[in-house]
Amino acid sequence: MRHADTDWTLVNERHLVGAANDLAPLTDLGVRQVEVAVAQVRPLGIRLILTSPMTRALQTAALLSRALDVPLAVEFDLHEWVPDRTFSWRTPEEVLALLENMRRHGGEWPCRESPPAWEPMSAVRQRSLGVLTRYATATYPIGVVTHGGVVESLTGRAVGLTEILTYDLPSPPM
């Protein structure tokens, strides 16, 4: 599941830089989106929820965990795509420009000798799969609350807020 609607007001008003952007909480609408999603998630029989440490995902996962009465585990590597590996971006416009640059290059660095600031999508996929494969032996369904970039790196498709997808880990190479 992708996290719910985010309130960027605090981040923008306080001019939070880089990773401090990730302190943005959910909006009231976001909280209601999670409440609606619980009805879709409950029949799946999830017994554990993994989440990104970023506030918008963590708050989404905490609301789900409480509603479903299942444990929650924070997994750092489920964090969103990093627009600038120096963590020094300052404005939403800067992030959007970096995102556009990444998309223009198909998600991968055009030149390894002088790579752009953004994280390539193959790295997002690799770190996310690193987390998910540690849970591959679970005999019960696991819920994951993360970000659009993570979901897209794994599935190849963009997802909306609180959209729920079923995902099966790829088979290991022979």
- Does 163 map to a domain? no
- Does 45 map to a domain? yes
pLDDT digits (tens, 9 = 90+) for 11-48: 888 888 888 888 999 999 999 999 999 999 999 999 99
pLDDT digits (tens, 9 = 90+) for 85-101: 999 888 888 999 999 99
Q: Which long-range contacts (CB under 8 A, 24 or more apart) does 71-76 make?
A: 72/48, 73/48, 73/49, 74/50, 75/50, 75/51, 75/131
- Does 170 map to a domain? no
- Does 18 map to a domain? yes
- 3-state SS class at 108: coil
pLDDT digits (tens, 9 = 90+) for 64-85: 999 999 999 999 999 999 999 9
- Does 97 map to a domain? yes
List residues bridging with 51 in a β-sheet: 74, 145
Q: For position 172, what pLDDT does the model report? A: 67
**Domain tally, the chain:** 1
The range of the structural domain enclosing residue 13 comes to 9-155
Percent of the chain residues past pLDDT 70, beyond the cut: 98
For 45, phi then psi, to 5°, come to 70, 30
- Does 41 map to a domain? yes
pTM for this predicted structure: 0.93
Give the CATH number, domain containing residue 134: 3.40.50.1240
- Does 53 map to a domain? yes
